[in-house]
Amino acid sequence: MFTMKLRKATLTIATGLTLSLALTACGGGSDSGDGDGKITIGIKFDQPGVGLKTPDGEYTGFDVDVATYIAKELGYDAKDIEWKQAPSAERENLIRNGDVEFVVASYTINDERKAKVDFAGPYFLAHQDLLVRTDETKITKAEDLNSKKLCSVTGSTSAQNVKKELAPDADLQEFGGYSECLNGLQSGAVDALTTDDAILAGFAAQKEHQGKFKLTGLKLSNEPYGIGLKKGDKELQGKINKALEKMQKDGSWDKFVKDNFGSANYKNEPAPEITETS
């Protein structure tokens, strides 16, 4: 009798365990995950309006909204995202080393980078511009930078563009983050900060900076932002492109632009056509 009861109890436990495992497999997690239901995405941590980690540990900005939308289309909830800082000079390494699934970090598509990584998109078209102090009157065109101290970020296309094409005699100072350039601009240590207009608009729109800085409105280059991913991963590229197309069609793209750049009166370009498909 005791043996029969033990067998029944064992069978009940085994059945319950099997059912529990089946329910776990069917519910809640991602259906396209990496095994632990998490996805790691590279973003900028120091670009207000684009990609910013706030003092209380929140992540905000246009790139964050775009990345969250893509992750959802791939099967991940916002809580499943692990954000990793992706400085300009480290983006390719993070992708190639597999430290991130993809990078959404004001990442301009160009041939030099496409030799190392693949892109999906583009999902946004920015232009290189200059941020100056509101009382600045002598910088009205790119050539004016030749006699000025200019700040940019190490590894950015903006810094390279200035030295090669726009103002080769500018006193270019490169730092690891935009916040250092902004501090230099505010203190008078540098005369201008150059990067993409979307990033500059984000800085200018910050409450503590309002009224201190202005954009010159110079469209010095075209900067198509793409989603960086491991070279040869055509399956992921296709899935992300599909998510970007849906994001444009359902109105989410316009909402993200308004939410993040609206207060800066930033005149953005329309959503660009997706061209990175192979």
CB atoms within 10 A of CB 237: 21
Q: What separation in angstroms does the CA of 174 have from each of 115, 182, 194, 243, 255?
A: 24, 12, 10, 35, 33
What per-residue confidence (pLDDT) applies to 21?
37
pLDDT attached to residue 14: 45
Which domains does the chain possess?
A: 39-125+225-264 (3.40.190.10), 126-215 (3.40.190.10)
Contact 166, 220 (CB under 8 A): yes
H/E stretch holding 188 reads none
Distance (Å, rounded) from C-alpha 96 to C-alpha 60?
25
Structure confidence by residue, pLDDT tens digits, 13-68: 444 434 343 333 333 333 334 446 999 999 999 889 999 999 999 999 999 999 99
- Alpha-carbon gap, residue 121 to 63, rounded angstroms: 13
Per-residue pLDDT of the chain (278 residues; tens, 9 = 90+): 544 444 444 444 444 434 343 333 333 333 334 446 999 999 999 889 999 999 999 999 999 999 999 999 999 999 999 999 999 889 999 999 999 999 999 999 999 999 999 999 999 999 999 999 999 999 999 999 998 999 998 877 787 788 888 899 999 999 888 889 999 999 999 999 998 999 898 888 888 887 889 888 899 989 999 999 999 999 999 999 999 999 999 999 999 998 888 766 677 899 999 999 97
Q: What is the pLDDT of residue 264?
A: 67
Give CA 231 to chain center in angstroms.
18
pLDDT, residue 208, reads 82
Residue 100: other Cβ atoms inside 10 A: 23
**Is the distance from CB of 65 to CB of 155 less than 8 angstroms?**
no
Predicted local distance difference test score (pLDDT) of residue 56:
95
Strand, coil or helix: what is 265? coil
Give, in degrees to the nearest 5, the angle at Cα 213 between 207 and 216. Answer: 135
Closest to 207 in 3D by CA, of 18, 54, 30: 54
